Amino acid sequence: MARVVVDVPLAHLDRPFDYAVPEKLEDTVQAGCRVRVRFHGRLVDGVVWELGNSTDFAGALQPLSHVPSGEPVLTPQVARLVRTVADRYAGTASDVLRLALPPRRAAAEKRESPTPDALPEPPDPAGFARYTAGPALLDALAEGRPARAVWTALPGEDWPARLVELCRAALSGRRGALVVVPDGKDLDRLAAAAAGLLPAHSFTVLRADDSPEKRYRSFLAASRGAAQVVLGTRAAMFAPVRDLGLVVVWDDGDDLHSEERAPYPHARDVLVQRAWLDDCAAVVAGTSRTAEGALLVESGWAHELVADRTVLRAAAPRVQALGEDFELARDAAARSARLPSLAHEAARKALAADTPVLVQVPRRGYVPSLACARCRAPARCAHCAGPLGISPRPGPGGTRIPACRWCARPAATFDCPHCHGTKLRASVIGESRTAEELARAFPGAAVRTSGSTSGVLASVPGGAALVVATPGAEPVAEGGYGAALLLDSWALLGRADLRAGEETLRRWMNAAALVRPASAGGHVVVAADAGHPVVQALVRWDPAWLAARELADRRELGFPPATRMASASGSPAALAEFLEALRLPDGADLLGPVPERPRPGQEGERERYLVRVPRAAGAALAHALAEVQGVRSAKKVPEHVRVQLDPLDLV
């Protein structure tokens, strides 16, 4: 008999079902292969979870209807991971399997997956010699030991080469490796580095923009064990790597690592779970550091992989802050036409030295938030410390008063805990800058743009030019940039977002890391108050300090990752029914409701609640939420409640 997980999106059916294996299919059916079964009177797809010789079902088992292929696409290790992720995020195994398994292509299954001729030798440790424990990490990977590290890369580091060297070390010890990066631009750089450092056919690349057949061929190369190194974006976090010895996530603070489909897992958390389940090495890497990375170090689960301050100072560019500039902060559009003198001078010198200048500007469309009018600190709710915003619902007399975006409590009065200011102001909303305005400020200079509207550039030549880019779209310059201008800082720092400071530093450091060292004239100018903690972390190039500070602040206020949070959104009536059936664990804190921002295709009024529990109660919260979803599914309740654990966006 075969235990089959059917592709049915109903929470109360989240378990394998037993089916008889007909004698004619006994030689074809394998654990992990795709099948077609009859379920509730209709044919549906499924995956064989496991094979067995007995069943607890009292009646006669229905036979498998069809076996499209005997190819075992679901390995036992990935099956265990699928169940773990489903339980962690209050989802179902069928939801996770849709993320883990690409659609089948028969032509791809008929092709052989080439294997490498030989395993490589361990990599040259010179690349990691600048880091205190770098060579020791390579040795541990070559020996198959489960080393765990949070790596903060030096500015100017050739991080794709370093990540491939980690994979080569694991491969030399006959272990597989999996690397997940945020986007296609990063994946292209990583794949190019792998082509030069790894044997042919020893690695495969899983990218979302490949054709379905090519993507499936790459998937099969991993599942068959032909390629033991897998490189990809977030969908690759479930890749079936054989003899997994290393998992790596690069730039884990990037929101592209968060899956947009149920049950909304995050690549970093999935890879940490894989490292624990498979007892393998793990590296959480980036130019900056998240509070989640700081928690991994603080808990002892991972060790820091950093360079000495002497090495850091030699590699880093000179960073200067402009200080407070309230006039420019009030008028964000003025920055592009009227650059502060320090930024103008830094750009002029870099262009005169025939080096490119990077100008980073925020994306458009951030939701306006409120801040203290005196010190610009984000305004927080006195009850739950959530961000204050302007309520979309008019109050008495048609006026709109500040209210918490988490618990919806109005804030009729405000007292800033930092400076005791009593007035609020709207934070700056970022706007895209135009290349024409910068060209007027620097006549004669070539101007290039890189972003979602104009297209993302992978690289630019090393000559004098202005390169205007949005965060994440900064191209690599040949020889490095001579200067970088980080403008419109309050558009980033003033966002009503739990991760505003952490995310701002990540974006700034990713851009500043592309600038030449100070010894070669590299200069970074950030348009922000020099006394702000995020600016201080950039000036000192100390992301670990800010991450530890963020973690301590969030622990004091009860924010993730010190706690676990879940959001439940739906119509008011559906939410009322949902919460009435929900059995929250001890210590849970229910916040809301607040009006939910409409999503594309949604109609009618929708609200959202947040549930906050101690981190130790996270599994109990996920179980309680999944239980309610199962009951509602069994009752065929027509209105769906969207449940998401550990959402990145809490506003």
By the 8 A CB rule, do 550 and 294 touch?
Answer: yes
Instruction: Please give the helix or strand (H or E) that residue 311 lies within, else none.
Output: helix 309-315
Q: Has 407 been labeled as part of a binding site?
A: yes
Q: Is the peptide bond before 9 cis (omega within 30 degrees of 0)?
A: no
Regarding whether 303 and 194 lie in a shared domain, the answer is: yes
What digits encode the pLDDT tens for the residues 593-612? Answer: 988 876 655 667 899 999 99
Regarding whether 67 and 30 lie in a shared domain, the answer is: yes
Mean per-residue pLDDT, 103-125: 94
Q: Does 379 reside within a domain? A: no
Task: Please give the DSSP secondary-structure letter assigned to residue 210.
Answer: S
Q: Does 102 reside within a domain? A: no
Regarding whether 300 and 186 lie in a shared domain, the answer is: yes
Regarding whether 176 and 196 lie in a shared domain, the answer is: yes
Give me the pLDDT at residue 338, please.
41
Residue with tokens 């036979």: 63
**Residue that finishes a domain, picked among 293, 311, 329:** 311
Give me the pLDDT at residue 413, please.
85
Q: How far is CA 134 from CA 124, 286, 455, 545, in A?
A: 11, 15, 36, 21
What digits encode the pLDDT tens for the residues 301-327? Answer: 999 999 999 999 999 999 999 754 443
User: Residue 455: what are its φ and ψ, rounded to 5°?
Assistant: 100, 145
The CATH number that applies at residue 56 is 3.40.1440.60
Q: Has 419 been labeled as part of a binding site?
A: yes
pTM of the model: 0.87
The CATH number that applies at residue 168 is 3.40.50.300
Give me the pLDDT at residue 431, please.
33
User: Residue 596: what are its φ and ψ, rounded to 5°?
Assistant: -95, 140
Give me the pLDDT at residue 580, please.
95
* pLDDT over 90 at 386, yes or no: no
Q: Has 375 been labeled as part of a binding site?
A: yes
Regarding whether 338 and 214 lie in a shared domain, the answer is: no
Give me the pLDDT at residue 426, please.
64
Q: How many whole angstroms from its chain centre is CA 107? A: 33
Question: From CA 610, how far away is CA 381, in angstroms rounded?
Answer: 14
Give me the pLDDT at residue 627, please.
97
Regarding whether 158 and 33 lie in a shared domain, the answer is: no
Winning range, highest mean pLDDT, from 289-298, 450-459, 480-489, 605-614? 289-298
Give me the pLDDT at residue 397, please.
52
- Name 537's Cβ contacts closer than 8 Å, sequence gap at least 6: 505, 543, 545, 546
Q: Has 167 been labeled as part of a binding site?
A: no
Give the whole-number percent of the chain exceeding pLDDT 90: 72
pLDDT band at 369 (very low <50, low <70, confident <90, very high): low
Mean per-residue pLDDT, 168-186: 97
Instruction: Please give the helix or strand (H or E) that residue 554 lies within, else none.
Output: helix 543-557
Q: Has 416 been labeled as part of a binding site?
A: yes
Question: From CA 469, how far away is CA 474, in angstroms rounded?
Answer: 5
* pLDDT over 50 at 434, yes or no: no
* pLDDT over 70 at 432, yes or no: no
Lowest-confidence pick of 114-123, 368-377, 390-399, 478-487: 390-399
By the 8 A CB rule, do 466 and 347 touch?
Answer: yes
* pLDDT over 60 at 103, yes or no: yes
By the 8 A CB rule, do 92 and 112 touch?
Answer: no
Helix axis angle, 543-557 to 533-540, nearest 10°: 150
Give me the pLDDT at residue 651, please.
64
Q: Does 397 reside within a domain? A: no
Give me the pLDDT at residue 493, please.
81
Regarding whether 65 and 170 lie in a shared domain, the answer is: no
**Residue that finishes a domain, picked among 75, 110, 136:** 75
Mean per-residue pLDDT, 87-113: 95
By the 8 A CB rule, do 165 and 197 touch?
Answer: yes
Residue with tokens 């700081």: 294
What digits encode the pLDDT tens for the residues 10-32? Answer: 999 999 999 999 999 999 999 99
Give the whole-number percent of the chain exceeding pLDDT 70: 91
pLDDT band at 366 (very low <50, low <70, confident <90, very high): very low
* pLDDT over 90 at 389, yes or no: no
Give me the pLDDT at residue 497, please.
79
Give me the pLDDT at residue 598, please.
64
Mean per-residue pLDDT, 52-77: 92
Regarding whether 278 and 161 lie in a shared domain, the answer is: yes
Ramachandran area for residue 109 (φ above 0: left; ψ -120 to 50: alpha; else beta): alpha
pLDDT band at 332 (very low <50, low <70, confident <90, very high): very low
Q: How many whole angstroms from its chain centre is CA 445? A: 36
Q: Does 602 reside within a domain? A: yes
pLDDT band at 429 (very low <50, low <70, confident <90, very high): very low
Regarding whether 467 and 349 lie in a shared domain, the answer is: yes
Q: Does 650 reside within a domain? A: no
pLDDT band at 443 (very low <50, low <70, confident <90, very high): confident
Q: Does 437 reside within a domain? A: yes
Q: Has 33 been labeled as part of a binding site?
A: no
Ramachandran area for residue 329 (φ above 0: left; ψ -120 to 50: alpha; else beta): alpha
The CATH number that applies at residue 623 is 3.30.70
Regarding whether 325 and 285 lie in a shared domain, the answer is: no
The structure tokens listed for 214 are 């090519």
Q: Does 405 reside within a domain? A: no
The CATH number that applies at residue 516 is 3.40.50
Regarding whether 578 and 527 lie in a shared domain, the answer is: no
Regarding whether 351 and 324 lie in a shared domain, the answer is: yes
For residue 273, give its domain range.
Answer: 126-311
What digits encode the pLDDT tens for the residues 498-536? Answer: 888 999 999 999 999 999 999 999 999 998 888 899 999
Q: Select the more confidently predicted residue: 603 or 417.
A: 417
The structure tokens listed for 228 are 């033991």
Q: Look over the chain and give the mean of its residue pLDDT values, rounded to a whole number.
A: 89
Question: From CA 305, how far away is CA 246, in angstroms rounded?
Answer: 16
* pLDDT over 60 at 331, yes or no: no
**Residue that finishes a domain, picked among 486, 506, 540:** 540
What is the domain count for the chain? Answer: 4
Mean per-residue pLDDT, 193-200: 97
Q: Does 523 reside within a domain? A: yes
